[in-house]
Amino acid sequence: MGVADGYRTRAEGLVENPFNGLLVFIGLYLVADLILKLSGVDVVVNVPGMGATKIMGGVEPLDSFLSKVINGILRGLIIGLAGIGLSMTYSILGFANFAHGDFITVGAFMGVMTSYIVAGVVGAATYDIGTLALMKVEASQLGLAITGGPLAFAAIVLGLLIAGVGTVGVVLLVDRLAFEPIRDRSSVSLLITSIGVALVIRYLVNFIWGIEKFSANSPGDTWELAIRGSEPANGLQRGPSTWEFVITELTGSIRVNAHDFTLLIIAVSLMLGVHVLLQTSKLGKAMRAMADNKDLARVTGIPTDRVIRFTWVLGGSLTGVAGYTWVLWSGTFGWYDGWLFLLLVFAAVILGGIGSIYGAMAGGLIIGLARDLSIIFIPSAFAKAFAFALMIVVLVVKPSGLFAGRTTA
């Protein structure tokens, strides 16, 4: 690693100065542009030869902006939750785990399968267990929503639990079979192995559940936050709370449903839990030590095997739960989705600084927001590409990430 490190410092020094100014400029421009758009102002400049040209501004209704913010935060929470595990294994085991996206898939499938079985077998009982396990039913027919009564609630809670526990099981098995035998090999060997693991998991899921996406959405109550302006007619429609933003010239509403709140509560409480766990337990200290220097940690008597196992347990459970909350939030999930999601998680982890748990959380939020807010400035089809581009910029400009040096919590 010494080689690469030496190089990185040089590269950073070279790239940093000219680049940073440009980046700050772009950032300021975007903020200014956003403010103009929110106020519905066009900035038109008379360019000689081209006539009047719009250079900034436009229209971005507040409700649409706030929806994007909410979407971005929720997406960011899922990314962050999944990112914690990726970040921990990256720093403690020393490799970029390309199977991590498929761990998300495992969580989603195992969790939702459990929910289906619980809701279907205990409840309607019109479906046989095989159909339920393979999720060949619409979730709405099972009434699977957090607000759908005690049974549905229990099914979802149990699903969440199994999403975490089941993923831990799979992850530990994978570690035992695939990674442990080559623990001391180079990070590149482990990375390649993880690509193999990813293929095995993904296509096993495909083999069993097929290629259709399953859906698990019947979100129950929707709360609408009305944004009321000059047209009070568009006010609150249903739901318990009445929050009003009164802004002249702007009307509209933001929808938030019960599952969005569920996601918010789960993600925030789990992140707080991880924080407390790593700050107060010896485990956190051991993990920090191992991330710093594995050999040193071993000779100072840290039980490295146990720490590694804890890393997988903690990371795997959070990742599995992240998969389940993804289903709650978006309503659908397919065998390929976890893999497609992986790069966003990498983006978050790199942005936050590999090894830093707060970095992963913050990185998740930043990437989530960047992905959803970028739509204001660029065509929505480029949103994901933009998030990746952001990650590349961070890797090039500041490979240590924004929260560098704060390894594992």
Minimum Å distance from CB 177 to another protein? Answer: 8
Give the phi and the psi of residue 178 in degrees, each rounded to 5.
-100, -45
Which residue number, 11 or 69, has a Cβ lying nearer to another protein? Answer: 11
Which residue number, 209 or 223, has a Cβ lying nearer to another protein? Answer: 209
Minimum Å distance from CB 261 to another protein? Answer: 31
136 binds another protein (CB under 8 A): yes
Strands of 120-180 (E only): list them.
Answer: none
Distance CA 121, CA 123 (A): 6
| CA atoms 399, 355, 305, 322: torsion sign | negative
CB atoms within 10 A of CB 106: 27
116 binds another protein (CB under 8 A): no
- From 308, 286, 305, select the one nearest 297 (Cα to Cα): 286
Minimum Å distance from CB 162 to another protein? Answer: 20
Distance CA 362, CA 394 (A): 14
- From 353, 352, 356, 354, select the one nearest 364 (Cα to Cα): 352
Task: Give the one residue of 6, 27, 273, 303 binding another protein; rule: CB under 8 A.
Answer: 6
Minimum Å distance from CB 199 to another protein? Answer: 3
What is the rounded radius of gyration, in angstroms, for the C-alpha atoms of the chain? 23
**Using CB under 8 A, which of the segments 38-46, 204-212, 264-272, 298-306 binds another protein?**
204-212
Task: Give the one residue of 9, 39, 230, 281 binding another protein; rule: CB under 8 A.
Answer: 9
**95: Cβ contacts below 8 Å, ≥ 6 apart:** 89, 187, 188, 190, 191, 194
Minimum Å distance from CB 4 to another protein? Answer: 4
Task: Give the one residue of 23, 158, 172, 200 binding another protein; rule: CB under 8 A.
Answer: 200
58 binds another protein (CB under 8 A): no
| CA atoms 279, 107, 384, 96: torsion sign | positive
- Angle formed at CA 236 by CA 234 and CA 240, multiple of 5 degrees: 175
Write the binding mask 341 to 380 for another protein: x where contact by CB under 8 A, - elsewhere: --x--xx--x----------------------------x-
Contact by Cβ (8 Å): 39, 344: no
Contact by Cβ (8 Å): 110, 320: yes
195 binds another protein (CB under 8 A): yes
Which residue number, 15 or 277, has a Cβ lying nearer to another protein? Answer: 15
13 binds another protein (CB under 8 A): yes
Minimum Å distance from CB 5 to another protein? Answer: 8
Which residue number, 95 or 310, has a Cβ lying nearer to another protein? Answer: 95
Which residue number, 14 or 268, has a Cβ lying nearer to another protein? Answer: 14
Which residue number, 153 or 388, has a Cβ lying nearer to another protein? Answer: 388
Minimum Å distance from CB 129 to another protein? Answer: 10
Contact by Cβ (8 Å): 198, 218: no
User: Helix 2-38 vs helix 383-397: angle between axes, to the nearest 10 degrees?
Assistant: 140
Q: Give residue 285's identity as a one-letter amino acid code.
A: K
Element spanning 244, H or E: strand 244-246
Write the binding mask 163 to 182 for another protein: x where contact by CB under 8 A, - elsewhere: --------------xx--xx
**Using CB under 8 A, which of the segments 194-202, 238-246, 257-265, 358-366 binds another protein?**
194-202
Residues at the site binding another protein, with contacts judged by CB under 8 A: 1-4, 6-11, 13, 15, 95-96, 130-131, 133-134, 136, 177-178, 181-182, 185, 187-189, 191-193, 195-204, 206-210, 343, 346-347, 350, 379, 381-382, 384-385, 388-389, 391-392, 395-396, 399
